[in-house]
Structure 1
Amino acid sequence: MGFYVNVEPDVNVFVEDINPAGEKTILFIHGWPGNHNLFEYQYDQLPKHGYRCIGVDTRGFGQSDRPWHGYGYDRLADDIRAVIDALGLRNITLGGHSTGGAIAVRYMARHQGHGVSKLALFAAAVPSLIQRPYFPYGLPEQAVLDIIEGTYTDRPNMLVGFGKMIFHNFVTPSLADWIYQLGLQASGWATAAVANTWIQEVLFRDMDEIRVPTLILHGLDDKVCLFPLAEAQKNGIRNSKLVPFESCGHFLFYDQMERFNRELMDFLAE
Protein backbone atom coordinates (compact mmCIF):
# COMPACT_ATOMS: atom_id res chain seq x y z
CA MET A 1 0.00 0.00 0.00
CA GLY A 2 1.52 3.30 -1.10
CA PHE A 3 0.53 6.78 0.05
CA TYR A 4 1.91 10.22 0.85
CA VAL A 5 2.68 11.83 4.19
CA ASN A 6 2.89 15.61 4.55
CA VAL A 7 6.16 16.48 6.30
CA GLU A 8 6.07 20.27 6.01
CA PRO A 9 3.98 22.80 4.07
CA ASP A 10 3.88 21.80 0.39
CA VAL A 11 6.24 18.83 0.87
CA ASN A 12 5.01 15.23 0.85
CA VAL A 13 7.06 12.04 0.99
CA PHE A 14 6.04 8.70 -0.46
CA VAL A 15 5.59 5.75 1.89
CA GLU A 16 5.14 2.07 1.03
CA ASP A 17 3.57 -0.04 3.81
CA ILE A 18 3.94 -3.81 3.28
CA ASN A 19 2.00 -6.19 5.54
CA PRO A 20 0.48 -3.58 7.90
CA ALA A 21 -0.86 -6.41 10.05
CA GLY A 22 2.65 -7.66 10.88
CA GLU A 23 3.48 -8.14 14.55
CA LYS A 24 6.81 -6.29 14.40
CA THR A 25 7.67 -3.27 12.27
CA ILE A 26 10.85 -2.15 10.56
CA LEU A 27 11.06 1.21 8.81
CA PHE A 28 13.72 1.32 6.10
CA ILE A 29 15.57 4.49 5.05
CA HIS A 30 17.31 4.03 1.72
CA GLY A 31 20.72 5.26 0.70
CA TRP A 32 21.76 7.82 -1.91
CA PRO A 33 20.76 8.13 -4.75
CA GLY A 34 18.07 5.40 -4.71
CA ASN A 35 14.66 5.10 -3.18
CA HIS A 36 12.66 2.68 -1.04
CA ASN A 37 12.65 0.07 -3.81
CA LEU A 38 16.28 -0.75 -3.04
CA PHE A 39 14.91 -2.97 -0.25
CA GLU A 40 12.70 -5.01 -2.58
CA TYR A 41 14.36 -8.28 -1.59
CA GLN A 42 13.69 -7.59 2.05
CA TYR A 43 10.06 -6.68 1.35
CA ASP A 44 9.74 -10.00 -0.48
CA GLN A 45 10.95 -12.07 2.49
CA LEU A 46 10.42 -10.39 5.87
CA PRO A 47 6.58 -10.24 5.66
CA LYS A 48 6.57 -14.03 5.20
CA HIS A 49 7.88 -14.19 8.76
CA GLY A 50 5.27 -11.81 10.16
CA TYR A 51 7.10 -8.50 9.82
CA ARG A 52 5.64 -5.21 8.69
CA CYS A 53 8.01 -3.38 6.36
CA ILE A 54 7.71 0.35 5.74
CA GLY A 55 9.78 2.05 3.07
CA VAL A 56 10.15 5.82 2.70
CA ASP A 57 11.38 7.76 -0.31
CA THR A 58 13.37 10.62 1.16
CA ARG A 59 12.50 14.04 -0.24
CA GLY A 60 13.94 14.61 -3.69
CA PHE A 61 14.14 10.89 -4.43
CA GLY A 62 11.81 8.26 -5.84
CA GLN A 63 8.18 9.31 -5.80
CA SER A 64 8.52 11.95 -3.09
CA ASP A 65 8.24 15.68 -3.69
CA ARG A 66 11.35 17.49 -4.88
CA PRO A 67 11.67 20.77 -3.00
CA TRP A 68 14.71 22.93 -3.59
CA HIS A 69 15.50 22.95 0.13
CA GLY A 70 15.75 20.58 3.07
CA TYR A 71 18.59 18.11 2.41
CA GLY A 72 20.51 18.41 5.66
CA TYR A 73 20.34 15.59 8.17
CA ASP A 74 18.16 17.58 10.58
CA ARG A 75 15.39 18.13 8.06
CA LEU A 76 15.62 14.59 6.69
CA ALA A 77 15.36 13.24 10.24
CA ASP A 78 12.37 15.48 10.85
CA ASP A 79 10.72 13.97 7.78
CA ILE A 80 11.11 10.52 9.35
CA ARG A 81 9.55 11.83 12.56
CA ALA A 82 6.57 13.07 10.54
CA VAL A 83 6.11 9.62 9.00
CA ILE A 84 6.40 7.85 12.37
CA ASP A 85 3.84 10.18 13.91
CA ALA A 86 1.46 10.04 10.94
CA LEU A 87 1.41 6.23 11.09
CA GLY A 88 1.32 6.12 14.90
CA LEU A 89 4.37 3.85 15.01
CA ARG A 90 5.76 2.62 18.33
CA ASN A 91 8.46 0.11 19.30
CA ILE A 92 9.74 -0.18 15.76
CA THR A 93 13.15 -1.04 14.36
CA LEU A 94 14.63 1.83 12.37
CA GLY A 95 16.92 0.60 9.60
CA GLY A 96 19.11 2.75 7.40
CA HIS A 97 21.51 2.06 4.54
CA SER A 98 24.43 4.36 3.77
CA THR A 99 23.07 7.93 3.87
CA GLY A 100 19.88 6.42 5.25
CA GLY A 101 21.95 5.17 8.17
CA ALA A 102 23.19 8.70 8.78
CA ILE A 103 19.62 9.99 8.75
CA ALA A 104 18.64 7.23 11.20
CA VAL A 105 21.46 8.14 13.60
CA ARG A 106 20.54 11.83 13.44
CA TYR A 107 16.91 10.88 14.07
CA MET A 108 17.86 8.92 17.19
CA ALA A 109 19.76 11.89 18.61
CA ARG A 110 17.50 14.72 17.46
CA HIS A 111 14.22 13.01 18.42
CA GLN A 112 15.49 10.97 21.39
CA GLY A 113 14.66 7.73 19.60
CA HIS A 114 10.93 8.54 19.52
CA GLY A 115 8.97 5.39 18.65
CA VAL A 116 12.12 3.32 18.08
CA SER A 117 13.15 0.32 20.19
CA LYS A 118 15.96 -0.98 17.94
CA LEU A 119 18.33 0.49 15.37
CA ALA A 120 19.91 -1.31 12.41
CA LEU A 121 22.68 0.27 10.34
CA PHE A 122 23.65 -1.15 6.94
CA ALA A 123 26.93 0.18 5.49
CA ALA A 124 26.05 3.46 7.19
CA ALA A 125 27.70 6.78 6.30
CA VAL A 126 28.43 7.33 9.99
CA PRO A 127 30.14 9.13 11.66
CA SER A 128 31.64 10.78 8.55
CA LEU A 129 31.66 9.67 4.94
CA ILE A 130 34.73 11.75 4.15
CA GLN A 131 38.17 12.03 5.68
CA ARG A 132 38.73 14.75 8.25
CA PRO A 133 41.83 15.81 10.18
CA TYR A 134 40.52 13.96 13.24
CA PHE A 135 38.96 11.06 11.27
CA PRO A 136 41.17 9.83 8.41
CA TYR A 137 39.06 6.78 7.55
CA GLY A 138 36.55 7.99 4.95
CA LEU A 139 36.74 8.93 1.30
CA PRO A 140 38.82 11.91 0.21
CA GLU A 141 36.68 15.05 0.09
CA GLN A 142 37.66 15.47 -3.55
CA ALA A 143 35.86 12.22 -4.40
CA VAL A 144 32.61 13.76 -3.18
CA LEU A 145 33.31 17.05 -4.95
CA ASP A 146 33.77 15.02 -8.14
CA ILE A 147 30.38 13.37 -7.57
CA ILE A 148 28.75 16.79 -7.16
CA GLU A 149 30.43 18.13 -10.28
CA GLY A 150 29.42 15.00 -12.19
CA THR A 151 25.85 15.44 -11.03
CA TYR A 152 25.74 18.93 -12.48
CA THR A 153 27.46 18.08 -15.78
CA ASP A 154 26.60 14.46 -16.67
CA ARG A 155 24.47 12.81 -13.99
CA PRO A 156 23.90 9.54 -15.92
CA ASN A 157 27.64 9.05 -16.32
CA MET A 158 28.22 9.88 -12.66
CA LEU A 159 25.66 7.23 -11.68
CA VAL A 160 27.39 4.66 -13.88
CA GLY A 161 30.66 5.39 -12.12
CA PHE A 162 29.04 5.11 -8.71
CA GLY A 163 27.44 1.83 -9.75
CA LYS A 164 30.89 0.37 -10.31
CA MET A 165 31.76 1.03 -6.65
CA ILE A 166 28.83 -0.56 -4.88
CA PHE A 167 29.21 -4.29 -5.50
CA HIS A 168 32.00 -6.67 -4.58
CA ASN A 169 30.41 -9.81 -5.99
CA PHE A 170 28.83 -10.37 -9.39
CA VAL A 171 25.34 -9.11 -10.07
CA THR A 172 23.58 -9.40 -13.39
CA PRO A 173 23.73 -6.44 -15.77
CA SER A 174 19.95 -6.28 -15.49
CA LEU A 175 20.08 -5.77 -11.71
CA ALA A 176 22.83 -3.17 -12.03
CA ASP A 177 20.80 -1.31 -14.66
CA TRP A 178 17.69 -1.41 -12.45
CA ILE A 179 19.61 0.23 -9.60
CA TYR A 180 20.94 2.81 -12.08
CA GLN A 181 17.38 3.59 -13.14
CA LEU A 182 16.36 4.10 -9.50
CA GLY A 183 19.11 6.70 -9.23
CA LEU A 184 17.84 8.51 -12.30
CA GLN A 185 14.42 8.90 -10.65
CA ALA A 186 15.91 11.38 -8.17
CA SER A 187 16.15 15.08 -8.89
CA GLY A 188 19.57 16.34 -9.82
CA TRP A 189 19.51 19.10 -7.20
CA ALA A 190 18.64 16.66 -4.40
CA THR A 191 21.36 14.28 -5.58
CA ALA A 192 23.95 17.05 -5.34
CA ALA A 193 22.56 18.55 -2.14
CA VAL A 194 22.75 15.28 -0.21
CA ALA A 195 26.31 14.72 -1.45
CA ASN A 196 27.14 18.20 -0.14
CA THR A 197 25.64 17.20 3.22
CA TRP A 198 28.25 14.45 3.46
CA ILE A 199 30.87 17.21 3.47
CA GLN A 200 29.04 19.56 5.83
CA GLU A 201 27.85 17.24 8.60
CA VAL A 202 29.26 14.71 11.07
CA LEU A 203 27.57 12.38 13.55
CA PHE A 204 30.09 11.74 16.32
CA ARG A 205 27.98 13.28 19.09
CA ASP A 206 24.80 11.76 17.67
CA MET A 207 26.14 8.24 18.19
CA ASP A 208 26.59 8.93 21.89
CA GLU A 209 22.87 9.77 22.20
CA ILE A 210 21.67 6.33 21.04
CA ARG A 211 20.15 4.26 23.83
CA VAL A 212 18.64 1.26 22.02
CA PRO A 213 20.15 -2.07 20.89
CA THR A 214 21.91 -1.46 17.60
CA LEU A 215 22.92 -3.88 14.85
CA ILE A 216 25.74 -2.83 12.50
CA LEU A 217 26.05 -4.79 9.25
CA HIS A 218 28.98 -3.76 7.06
CA GLY A 219 30.95 -5.26 4.18
CA LEU A 220 34.69 -5.60 4.60
CA ASP A 221 35.14 -4.67 0.94
CA ASP A 222 32.90 -1.59 0.98
CA LYS A 223 34.44 1.06 -1.32
CA VAL A 224 31.93 3.80 -0.46
CA CYS A 225 31.58 3.69 3.33
CA LEU A 226 34.88 2.08 4.27
CA PHE A 227 34.89 -0.58 6.97
CA PRO A 228 36.63 1.61 9.59
CA LEU A 229 33.38 3.59 9.71
CA ALA A 230 31.66 0.48 11.05
CA GLU A 231 34.34 0.10 13.71
CA ALA A 232 33.82 3.72 14.71
CA GLN A 233 30.08 3.06 14.98
CA LYS A 234 30.74 0.06 17.20
CA ASN A 235 33.00 2.14 19.45
CA GLY A 236 30.64 5.12 19.51
CA ILE A 237 27.25 3.44 20.04
CA ARG A 238 26.70 1.68 23.33
CA ASN A 239 24.93 -1.68 23.26
CA SER A 240 25.85 -2.19 19.61
CA LYS A 241 26.84 -5.33 17.73
CA LEU A 242 29.04 -5.26 14.64
CA VAL A 243 28.70 -8.08 12.12
CA PRO A 244 31.39 -7.90 9.40
CA PHE A 245 30.44 -9.35 6.01
CA GLU A 246 33.40 -10.97 4.30
CA SER A 247 33.65 -10.67 0.51
CA CYS A 248 30.98 -7.99 0.50
CA GLY A 249 30.65 -4.46 -0.81
CA HIS A 250 28.48 -1.43 -0.15
CA PHE A 251 25.19 -2.93 -1.32
CA LEU A 252 25.41 -5.85 1.08
CA PHE A 253 21.71 -6.70 0.76
CA TYR A 254 22.48 -7.78 -2.80
CA ASP A 255 26.09 -8.95 -2.42
CA GLN A 256 25.06 -11.33 0.39
CA MET A 257 21.28 -11.21 0.30
CA GLU A 258 20.50 -14.40 2.20
CA ARG A 259 22.92 -13.67 5.03
CA PHE A 260 21.76 -10.07 5.25
CA ASN A 261 18.12 -11.12 5.61
CA ARG A 262 19.00 -13.79 8.16
CA GLU A 263 21.09 -11.47 10.34
CA LEU A 264 18.43 -8.79 10.20
CA MET A 265 15.57 -11.15 11.09
CA ASP A 266 17.59 -12.69 13.93
CA PHE A 267 18.05 -9.19 15.35
CA LEU A 268 14.36 -8.35 14.92
CA ALA A 269 13.39 -11.55 16.73
CA GLU A 270 15.55 -10.88 19.80
Structure 2
Amino acid sequence: MGYFIEVEPNVNLYVEDVNPGSCKTIVFIHGWPANHRMFEYQFDQLPAMGYRCIGIDLRGFGNSDKPWRGYDYDQSADDIRCVVDALGLENFVLGGHSTGGGIVIRYMARHNGYGVAKLALFAAAAPSLIQRPYFPHGLRKEDVDKMIQDTLNDRPKMLRGFGDMFFFQYVSQPFSDWFFQLGLQAAGWSTAAVANSWLDEERLFADLEAICVPTLILHGIHDRVCLFPLAIAQHEGIKNSKLVPFKYSGHGLFYDQRDKFNKELVQFVEE
Protein backbone atom coordinates (compact mmCIF):
# COMPACT_ATOMS: atom_id res chain seq x y z
CA MET A 1 0.00 0.00 0.00
CA GLY A 2 1.12 3.52 -0.66
CA TYR A 3 0.35 6.74 1.15
CA PHE A 4 1.59 10.25 1.77
CA ILE A 5 2.97 11.48 5.08
CA GLU A 6 3.31 15.18 5.86
CA VAL A 7 6.81 16.06 7.09
CA GLU A 8 6.26 19.83 7.22
CA PRO A 9 3.47 22.15 6.07
CA ASN A 10 2.75 21.54 2.38
CA VAL A 11 5.50 18.91 2.04
CA ASN A 12 4.40 15.28 1.83
CA LEU A 13 6.57 12.22 1.27
CA TYR A 14 5.36 9.17 -0.59
CA VAL A 15 5.76 5.92 1.33
CA GLU A 16 5.35 2.40 -0.07
CA ASP A 17 4.49 -0.10 2.66
CA VAL A 18 4.49 -3.76 1.64
CA ASN A 19 3.33 -6.51 4.01
CA PRO A 20 2.49 -4.12 6.87
CA GLY A 21 1.23 -6.95 9.08
CA SER A 22 4.74 -8.29 9.67
CA CYS A 23 6.69 -7.42 12.81
CA LYS A 24 10.03 -7.62 10.94
CA THR A 25 10.46 -4.24 9.30
CA ILE A 26 13.11 -2.99 6.87
CA VAL A 27 13.05 0.69 5.84
CA PHE A 28 14.78 1.42 2.53
CA ILE A 29 16.20 4.86 1.66
CA HIS A 30 17.05 5.21 -2.02
CA GLY A 31 20.06 6.80 -3.64
CA TRP A 32 20.41 9.79 -5.96
CA PRO A 33 18.65 10.46 -8.29
CA ALA A 34 16.16 7.59 -8.11
CA ASN A 35 13.33 6.70 -5.72
CA HIS A 36 12.08 3.73 -3.68
CA ARG A 37 11.33 1.76 -6.84
CA MET A 38 15.04 1.07 -7.29
CA PHE A 39 14.54 -1.66 -4.65
CA GLU A 40 11.95 -3.49 -6.78
CA TYR A 41 13.95 -6.73 -6.68
CA GLN A 42 14.01 -6.64 -2.90
CA PHE A 43 10.32 -5.80 -2.59
CA ASP A 44 9.57 -8.70 -4.97
CA GLN A 45 11.19 -11.23 -2.63
CA LEU A 46 11.48 -10.10 0.98
CA PRO A 47 7.75 -9.69 1.79
CA ALA A 48 7.21 -13.30 0.70
CA MET A 49 9.83 -14.24 3.31
CA GLY A 50 7.88 -12.49 6.05
CA TYR A 51 9.39 -9.01 6.03
CA ARG A 52 7.64 -5.67 6.01
CA CYS A 53 9.38 -3.50 3.43
CA ILE A 54 8.93 0.26 3.60
CA GLY A 55 10.29 2.46 0.84
CA ILE A 56 10.42 6.24 1.25
CA ASP A 57 10.70 8.64 -1.67
CA LEU A 58 12.87 11.46 -0.35
CA ARG A 59 11.61 14.99 -0.92
CA GLY A 60 12.20 16.09 -4.48
CA PHE A 61 12.22 12.53 -5.82
CA GLY A 62 9.74 9.93 -7.03
CA ASN A 63 6.17 10.61 -5.98
CA SER A 64 7.06 12.90 -3.07
CA ASP A 65 6.52 16.64 -3.10
CA LYS A 66 9.27 18.70 -4.65
CA PRO A 67 9.71 21.96 -2.72
CA TRP A 68 12.36 24.47 -3.72
CA ARG A 69 14.39 24.04 -0.50
CA GLY A 70 15.28 21.40 2.04
CA TYR A 71 17.83 19.12 0.38
CA ASP A 72 20.61 18.87 2.95
CA TYR A 73 21.30 15.71 4.96
CA ASP A 74 19.89 17.17 8.18
CA GLN A 75 16.50 17.86 6.60
CA SER A 76 16.40 14.43 4.97
CA ALA A 77 17.15 12.78 8.32
CA ASP A 78 14.41 14.83 9.95
CA ASP A 79 11.99 13.79 7.20
CA ILE A 80 12.74 10.14 7.93
CA ARG A 81 12.07 10.76 11.62
CA CYS A 82 8.65 12.18 10.70
CA VAL A 83 7.82 8.99 8.80
CA VAL A 84 9.07 6.81 11.66
CA ASP A 85 6.88 8.71 14.11
CA ALA A 86 3.84 8.70 11.83
CA LEU A 87 4.03 4.93 11.35
CA GLY A 88 5.02 4.20 14.95
CA LEU A 89 8.03 2.16 13.86
CA GLU A 90 10.15 0.39 16.46
CA ASN A 91 13.06 -2.05 16.32
CA PHE A 92 13.38 -1.79 12.55
CA VAL A 93 16.30 -2.21 10.19
CA LEU A 94 17.24 1.02 8.42
CA GLY A 95 18.98 0.66 5.09
CA GLY A 96 20.29 3.29 2.71
CA HIS A 97 21.88 3.21 -0.74
CA SER A 98 24.49 5.74 -1.91
CA THR A 99 23.33 9.22 -0.84
CA GLY A 100 20.60 7.42 1.10
CA GLY A 101 23.40 5.67 2.97
CA GLY A 102 24.84 9.00 4.03
CA ILE A 103 21.39 10.16 5.08
CA VAL A 104 20.72 7.13 7.29
CA ILE A 105 24.11 7.67 8.94
CA ARG A 106 23.05 11.25 9.65
CA TYR A 107 19.74 9.93 11.03
CA MET A 108 21.63 7.71 13.47
CA ALA A 109 23.71 10.62 14.75
CA ARG A 110 21.09 13.37 14.65
CA HIS A 111 18.23 11.31 16.12
CA ASN A 112 20.28 8.95 18.29
CA GLY A 113 19.24 6.01 16.15
CA TYR A 114 15.61 6.42 17.22
CA GLY A 115 13.74 3.16 16.66
CA VAL A 116 16.60 1.51 14.76
CA ALA A 117 17.70 -1.96 15.83
CA LYS A 118 20.20 -2.48 12.99
CA LEU A 119 21.71 -0.38 10.20
CA ALA A 120 22.50 -1.47 6.64
CA LEU A 121 24.63 0.53 4.21
CA PHE A 122 24.48 -0.25 0.49
CA ALA A 123 27.25 1.41 -1.55
CA ALA A 124 26.93 4.32 0.85
CA ALA A 125 28.20 7.81 -0.01
CA ALA A 126 30.08 8.12 3.25
CA PRO A 127 32.15 9.38 4.93
CA SER A 128 32.73 11.63 1.88
CA LEU A 129 31.68 11.20 -1.73
CA ILE A 130 34.37 13.59 -2.92
CA GLN A 131 38.11 13.74 -2.35
CA ARG A 132 39.35 16.00 0.42
CA PRO A 133 42.87 16.89 1.60
CA TYR A 134 42.53 14.36 4.42
CA PHE A 135 40.46 11.81 2.44
CA PRO A 136 41.74 10.95 -1.06
CA HIS A 137 39.28 8.17 -1.86
CA GLY A 138 36.24 9.89 -3.35
CA LEU A 139 35.34 11.44 -6.68
CA ARG A 140 37.10 14.59 -7.83
CA LYS A 141 35.27 17.80 -6.96
CA GLU A 142 35.53 18.86 -10.60
CA ASP A 143 33.61 15.76 -11.69
CA VAL A 144 30.80 16.51 -9.26
CA ASP A 145 30.73 20.16 -10.36
CA LYS A 146 30.35 18.96 -13.95
CA MET A 147 27.55 16.59 -12.94
CA ILE A 148 25.69 19.48 -11.34
CA GLN A 149 26.13 21.68 -14.42
CA ASP A 150 25.05 18.84 -16.70
CA THR A 151 21.96 18.38 -14.54
CA LEU A 152 21.02 22.01 -15.04
CA ASN A 153 21.90 22.09 -18.76
CA ASP A 154 20.77 18.68 -20.07
CA ARG A 155 19.44 16.47 -17.30
CA PRO A 156 18.32 13.56 -19.54
CA LYS A 157 21.82 13.30 -21.01
CA MET A 158 23.37 13.42 -17.53
CA LEU A 159 21.05 10.67 -16.36
CA ARG A 160 21.94 8.46 -19.33
CA GLY A 161 25.63 8.86 -18.60
CA PHE A 162 25.15 8.19 -14.91
CA GLY A 163 23.11 5.08 -15.66
CA ASP A 164 25.86 3.79 -17.94
CA MET A 165 28.34 3.75 -15.03
CA PHE A 166 25.89 2.48 -12.42
CA PHE A 167 25.87 -1.27 -13.01
CA PHE A 168 28.71 -3.75 -13.48
CA GLN A 169 26.64 -6.64 -14.80
CA TYR A 170 24.85 -6.52 -18.14
CA VAL A 171 21.47 -4.82 -18.11
CA SER A 172 19.03 -4.93 -21.00
CA GLN A 173 18.01 -1.80 -22.88
CA PRO A 174 14.47 -1.98 -21.46
CA PHE A 175 15.92 -2.17 -17.95
CA SER A 176 18.22 0.75 -18.70
CA ASP A 177 15.24 2.74 -19.96
CA TRP A 178 13.27 1.90 -16.80
CA PHE A 179 16.13 3.02 -14.57
CA PHE A 180 16.45 6.21 -16.60
CA GLN A 181 12.79 6.97 -15.94
CA LEU A 182 13.36 6.73 -12.18
CA GLY A 183 15.75 9.66 -12.43
CA LEU A 184 13.40 11.66 -14.62
CA GLN A 185 10.72 11.46 -11.93
CA ALA A 186 12.80 13.78 -9.75
CA ALA A 187 12.78 17.55 -10.12
CA GLY A 188 15.79 19.10 -11.79
CA TRP A 189 16.33 21.51 -8.90
CA SER A 190 16.26 18.76 -6.27
CA THR A 191 18.61 16.60 -8.33
CA ALA A 192 21.12 19.46 -8.52
CA ALA A 193 20.63 20.53 -4.89
CA VAL A 194 21.36 17.08 -3.48
CA ALA A 195 24.45 16.74 -5.67
CA ASN A 196 25.58 20.15 -4.43
CA SER A 197 25.19 18.99 -0.82
CA TRP A 198 27.92 16.39 -1.40
CA LEU A 199 30.48 19.18 -1.71
CA ASP A 200 29.95 20.64 1.76
CA GLU A 201 28.99 17.54 3.72
CA GLU A 202 31.91 16.63 6.00
CA ARG A 203 30.18 15.74 9.27
CA LEU A 204 29.65 12.10 8.33
CA PHE A 205 33.16 11.31 9.57
CA ALA A 206 32.04 12.15 13.10
CA ASP A 207 28.59 10.64 12.54
CA LEU A 208 30.14 7.21 11.96
CA GLU A 209 31.39 7.20 15.53
CA ALA A 210 27.87 7.79 16.87
CA ILE A 211 26.51 4.54 15.43
CA CYS A 212 26.03 1.99 18.20
CA VAL A 213 23.89 -0.69 16.54
CA PRO A 214 25.04 -3.68 14.48
CA THR A 215 25.81 -2.44 10.98
CA LEU A 216 26.03 -4.30 7.68
CA ILE A 217 28.09 -2.76 4.86
CA LEU A 218 27.45 -4.13 1.36
CA HIS A 219 29.60 -2.62 -1.39
CA GLY A 220 30.56 -3.56 -4.94
CA ILE A 221 34.28 -3.63 -5.59
CA HIS A 222 33.70 -2.26 -9.11
CA ASP A 223 31.70 0.74 -7.88
CA ARG A 224 32.59 3.81 -9.96
CA VAL A 225 30.37 6.23 -8.03
CA CYS A 226 31.10 5.45 -4.39
CA LEU A 227 34.52 3.87 -4.66
CA PHE A 228 35.22 0.75 -2.60
CA PRO A 229 37.67 2.50 -0.23
CA LEU A 230 34.63 4.34 1.14
CA ALA A 231 33.31 1.01 2.41
CA ILE A 232 36.63 0.30 4.12
CA ALA A 233 36.48 3.72 5.82
CA GLN A 234 32.92 3.00 6.97
CA HIS A 235 33.98 -0.35 8.39
CA GLU A 236 36.90 1.23 10.24
CA GLY A 237 34.74 4.04 11.59
CA ILE A 238 31.69 2.08 12.77
CA LYS A 239 31.98 -0.17 15.77
CA ASN A 240 30.34 -3.57 15.43
CA SER A 241 30.19 -3.37 11.65
CA LYS A 242 30.54 -6.11 9.05
CA LEU A 243 31.80 -5.45 5.52
CA VAL A 244 30.74 -7.76 2.69
CA PRO A 245 32.47 -7.02 -0.64
CA PHE A 246 30.46 -7.81 -3.77
CA LYS A 247 32.98 -9.12 -6.29
CA TYR A 248 30.73 -8.85 -9.33
CA SER A 249 28.94 -5.58 -8.60
CA GLY A 250 29.20 -1.91 -9.32
CA HIS A 251 27.14 0.85 -7.69
CA GLY A 252 23.88 -1.00 -8.35
CA LEU A 253 24.68 -4.08 -6.29
CA PHE A 254 21.01 -4.43 -5.34
CA TYR A 255 20.50 -5.55 -8.97
CA ASP A 256 23.97 -6.68 -10.11
CA GLN A 257 23.96 -9.45 -7.48
CA ARG A 258 20.38 -9.26 -6.25
CA ASP A 259 20.23 -12.82 -4.92
CA LYS A 260 23.37 -12.35 -2.85
CA PHE A 261 22.17 -8.91 -1.76
CA ASN A 262 18.86 -10.29 -0.50
CA LYS A 263 20.54 -13.26 1.16
CA GLU A 264 23.08 -11.12 3.02
CA LEU A 265 20.42 -8.66 4.15
CA VAL A 266 18.06 -11.38 5.42
CA GLN A 267 20.89 -13.16 7.21
CA PHE A 268 21.85 -9.90 8.90
CA VAL A 269 18.27 -9.20 9.98
CA GLU A 270 17.96 -12.66 11.50
CA GLU A 271 21.28 -12.63 13.38
**Counterpart Cα distance in 2 of 1:219 and 1:22:** 30
Determine the structure 1 residue equivalent to 2:149: 149
CA offsets, 1:140-174, max 9 Å, x none? 01111011000110000000110111111101111
SS at match of 2:64: coil
Q: CA deviation at 1:175?
A: 0.8
SS at match of 2:127: coil
**Counterpart Cα distance in 1 of 2:16 and 2:85:** 15
Q: CA deviation at 1:23?
A: 2.5
Q: Which amino acid aligns with 2:256?
A: D
Which consecutive unaligned segments of at least 5 residues does structure 2 have?
none
Determine the structure 2 residue equivalent to 1:30: 30
Alignment partner of 1:184 is 2:184? yes
The list of structure 1 runs, each at least 4 consecutive aligned residues, that deviate by more than 2 angstroms after superposition, is none
Q: Which amino acid aligns with 1:231?
A: I
CA offsets, 1:164-194, max 9 Å, x none? 1111110111111101000000000000000
SS at match of 1:253: helix
**Counterpart Cα distance in 1 of 2:169 and 2:40:** 19
Determine the structure 2 residue equivalent to 1:240: 241
**Counterpart Cα distance in 2 of 1:136 and 1:9:** 41
Determine the structure 2 residue equivalent to 1:223: 224
Determine the structure 2 residue equivalent to 1:50: 50
Q: Structure 1 vs Structure 2: percent identity of aligned residues?
A: 65
Q: CA deviation at 1:248?
A: 1.0
Determine the structure 2 residue equivalent to 1:78: 78
SS at match of 2:65: coil
- What are the equivalent positions in structure 2 for 1:77-96 lying under 5 Å apart? 77-96=77-96
Aligned length: 270
Which consecutive unaligned segments of at least 5 residues does structure 1 have?
none
SS at match of 2:229: helix
CA offsets, 1:203-222, max 9 Å, x none? 10000000000000000000
TM-score, normalised to structure 1's length? Answer: 0.99
Q: Which amino acid aligns with 1:95?
A: G
**Counterpart Cα distance in 2 of 1:24 and 1:142:** 43
Computed over aligned residues only, the root mean square deviation of the Cα atoms, in angstroms, reads 0.5
Determine the structure 1 residue equivalent to 2:252: 251
Determine the structure 2 residue equivalent to 1:130: 130
Determine the structure 2 residue equivalent to 1:19: 19
